[in-house]
Amino acid sequence: MTTVAVTGASGYIGGRLVPALSDAGYRLLLVDDGSGPVTAVHPEHPIEKLDFGSEEGLHVLQGSDVVLHLAAVSGVVRCAEDPVRSLRVNVQETERLVRQCREKGIPMAFASSFAVVGIPKKLPITESTPTHPTHAYAAQKATGEALVRSTLDTGDTPGAILRMSNVYGSYRVGPRTIAKGNVLNLFVEQARAGALRVFAPGTQKRDFIHLDDVVAHWVAVVRYLLDRSRTSGVQTFNVASGESASVRDVAEKFRTIWQGLHPAEPGLKLTTVPNPRGSIELLQPEFSIDRRTTEKTLGVRCRWSLDEGIRSMLSAEAGTSSA
């Protein structure tokens, strides 16, 4: 049986990916130090509570056929607040893991972010768009990408870099709902109080992708890395829906869909508030991603449109079934 190792296995994405990998028939080696903001642990899938870059953590991971490296100090704010720890985890320990994968001949997939491209000179963003980071989190992820390329491209061990856009959606682990504090999930919470707060200026565009589609890409990458007949070097994949919208556009979608689900109630109010991340967050009015090469190579299409995703989230909140 093929063994897949996952770092960051109890994180927001890891907690949803683990059962999907198990359902796909893989044996799992799971590592997470439990320090992240989300803890999603499935009793049937035990996790070694270890730092992936420690000697013990690396020893556990070397027993796998593929490594999926999701562990990180993630997010613009967290990296800005703790640059020493984030640099250690996102760069120094990642380098140790990448070098071990090359030495042991273990294919590896690295979780990156579209933050690495900064403000691209040309749109849409493709799999070959170069990195141009503008803050610490983006710089650390860009360095991680460079480590994967420079280390694995020089040998026979294949690698993959998954640049993920804004992931939304929730899932259940026992009695708990697991979600991430991004704008869509926050809008669901705010809708309960009847008002949506848009961070200024509201025209900043994002690509939003449903968590289920993200997981499908990671499972497909495992198959890709294991197929040595068609893998070589390090490939970059755009894990994005290809559907961009401004934050204000998203808020308007919420208002429309919410009103349809609650026709007898007052509509959601919409206010613009100061952006707490305005000094470090890029506020591009244009942003688009081309995922055609990724789709062709991995054979994965995104199932969820943004409207369908919002309707599903609000329908679940309202206790109704979505169309």
CA distance 308 to 319: 16
Contact indicator for 23, 221 with CB cutoff of 8 Å: no
Is domain 3-167+209-239 classified as CATH 3.40.50.720?
A: yes
End-to-end CA distance of the chain: 39
Please tell me the predicted confidence (pLDDT) of residue 279. Answer: 66
Please tell me the predicted confidence (pLDDT) of residue 319. Answer: 63
Domains 3-167+209-239 and 169-207+243-285+304-318 share a fold: no
Q: Of 285, 288, 205, 203, nearest to 241 (Cα)?
A: 288
Please tell me the predicted confidence (pLDDT) of residue 321. Answer: 39
Q: Of 46, 17, 12, 41, nearest to 29 (Cα)?
A: 46
DSSP state for residue 130 in the 8-state scheme: P
CA distance 95 to 214: 24
E strands along the chain, which residues? 3-7, 27-31, 66-69, 108-113, 159-164, 166-168, 171-173, 176-178, 195-199, 205-210, 234-239, 244-246, 269-273
> Torsions phi, psi of 148, nearest 5?
-65, -45
Q: What is the pLDDT tens value at each position of the chain, 323 positions in all?
A: 999 999 999 999 999 999 999 999 999 999 999 999 999 999 999 999 999 999 999 999 999 999 999 999 998 889 989 999 999 999 999 999 999 999 999 999 999 999 999 999 999 999 999 999 999 999 999 999 999 999 998 778 999 999 999 999 999 999 999 998 889 999 999 998 999 999 999 999 999 999 999 999 999 999 999 997 766 789 999 999 999 999 999 999 999 999 999 999 999 999 999 988 766 666 777 899 999 999 999 999 999 999 999 999 999 876 643 33
Question: Model-level pTM greater than 0.85?
Answer: yes
User: What does the domain layout of the chain look like in residue ranges?
Assistant: 3-167+209-239, 169-207+243-285+304-318
Please tell me the predicted confidence (pLDDT) of residue 154. Answer: 76
Q: Are strands 244-246 and 205-210 parallel, antiparallel or unpaired?
A: antiparallel
- Tens digit of pLDDT for each residue in 29-64? 999 999 999 999 999 999 999 999 999 999 999 999
Is domain 169-207+243-285+304-318 classified as CATH 3.90.1010.10?
A: no
Please tell me the predicted confidence (pLDDT) of residue 245. Answer: 95
